[in-house]
């Protein structure tokens, strides 16, 4: 029996760029590997049984409005209502803000119906809206972002701090994904090898190996988008003793990965901030999202700290 409508709440974490993004050698399909962080989106859906319209707050979150209307059109208990989106992911920076909004929206509407919505159903809804990150799944995942389909679940990442610099501006992810460069067979083979390495590294919670794959992916990303500061940032991160460098392949951010088990972590955070200050207008400190077993369905409270350089 379906419960009567109620105020629904849903959430989703963001991704601090991608640990890896490329093309598989075997099937020539674009993929990425998420870097879940303890920041994200929260959606609240307040049903209104007297109106057949959906009002979205803030109004510019039109994709979330489109998704909510599609879900309501098939609902047997909901008609209209107010969808409010909250969160602390800046837009157009490569932090999966759009996908997080959409996943949180789907979960909020389903919650208002008194049901849970699975990742497969969310994917089916998102496929007609835009390319998406895999933040509907727990932990780090390899994801066919253009196809909006799961490639593989890698698992929870070890505790990492990411000091991220934003070079400014915004990137339209939909427009970015309309263009795909031609990758050589050698490049596709390297991406597949990096994915295999990363899969093992996450399973072993090997921070050094995770950082090495992320750094190589960052270097390869310059084919997609020029990053004049990247070589100097990678060199400085190595001198600092960081685990590696991660980028938002379709965004404006570059991050320095730090192992939270490092006894010199506070000093390295300060050093990473100094490195990022050479190219960034804003510097943010994030932490990897950690599941709270046995519930892997929602991110924890947002814990990012913003530092303006």
Write the DSSP string, 218-268.
HHHGGGTS--TTHHHHHHHHHHHT-SEEEE-TTSSEEEEEEETT-TTHHHH
Question: Which pLDDT score is estimated for 5?
Answer: 82
Banded pLDDT at 174 (limits 50, 70, 90):
low
Question: Which pLDDT score is estimated for 176?
Answer: 56
Q: Which residues are within 8 A (CB) of 26 and not within 5 positions of it... i.e. 6 or more apart?
A: 192
pLDDT digits (tens, 9 = 90+) for 149-162: 999 999 999 999 99
Helix, strand, coil abundance in the chain, percent, nearest 5: 35, 30, 40
Spatial CA neighbour of 214 closest among 257, 158, 277: 257
pLDDT digits (tens, 9 = 90+) for 188-245: 999 999 999 999 999 999 999 999 999 999 999 998 888 999 999 999 999 999 999 9
Q: Which two tokens stand for residue 92?
A: 């157009």
- pTM, two decimals, is 0.89
Cα separation, 273 vs 298, whole angstroms: 29
Question: Which pLDDT score is estimated for 251?
Answer: 87
Cα separation, 261 vs 264, whole angstroms: 9
Question: Which pLDDT score is estimated for 272?
Answer: 98
pLDDT (mean) for 110-139? 95
């Amino acid at each position: 029996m379906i419960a009567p409508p109620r105020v629904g709440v849903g959430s989703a974490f963001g991704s601090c760029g991608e640990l890896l993004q490329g093309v598989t050698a075997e099937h020539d399909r674009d993929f990425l590997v998420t870097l879940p962080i303890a920041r994200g989106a929260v959606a609240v859906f307040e049903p209104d049984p007297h109106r057949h319209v959906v009002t979205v707050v803030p109004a510019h979150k039109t994709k979330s409005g489109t998704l909510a209307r599609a879900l309501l059109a098939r609902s047997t208990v909901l008609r209209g209502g107010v969808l409010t989106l909250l969160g602390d992911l800046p837009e157009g920076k490569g932090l999966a803000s759009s996908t997080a909004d959409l996943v949180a929206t789907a979960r909020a509407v389903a919650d208002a119906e008194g049901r849970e919505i699975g990742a497969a159903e969310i994917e089916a809804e998102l496929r007609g809206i835009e390319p998406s990150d895999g933040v509907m799944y727990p932990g780090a995942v390899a994801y066919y972002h253009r196809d909006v389909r799961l490639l593989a679940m890698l698992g929870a990442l070890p505790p990492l701090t990411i000091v991220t610099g934003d070079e400014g501006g915004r990137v339209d992810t939909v427009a970015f994904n309309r263009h795909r460069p031609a990758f050589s067979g050698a490049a596709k083979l390297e991406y597949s090898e990096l994915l295999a390495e990363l899969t093992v590294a996450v399973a072993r919670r090997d921070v050094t190996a995770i950082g090495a794959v992320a750094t190589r992916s960052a270097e390869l990303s310059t084919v997609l988008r020029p990053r004049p500061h990247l070589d100097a940032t990678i060199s400085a991160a190595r001198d600092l003793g960081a685990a590696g460098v991660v980028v938002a392949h379709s965004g404006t951010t570059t991050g320095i990965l730090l192992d939270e088990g490092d006894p010199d972590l506070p000093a390295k955070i300060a050093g990473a901030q100094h490195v990022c200050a050479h190219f960034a207008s804003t510097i943010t400190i994030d932490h990897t999202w950690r599941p709270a077993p046995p519930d892997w369905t929602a991110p924890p409270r947002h814990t990012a700290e913003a530092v303006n350089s």
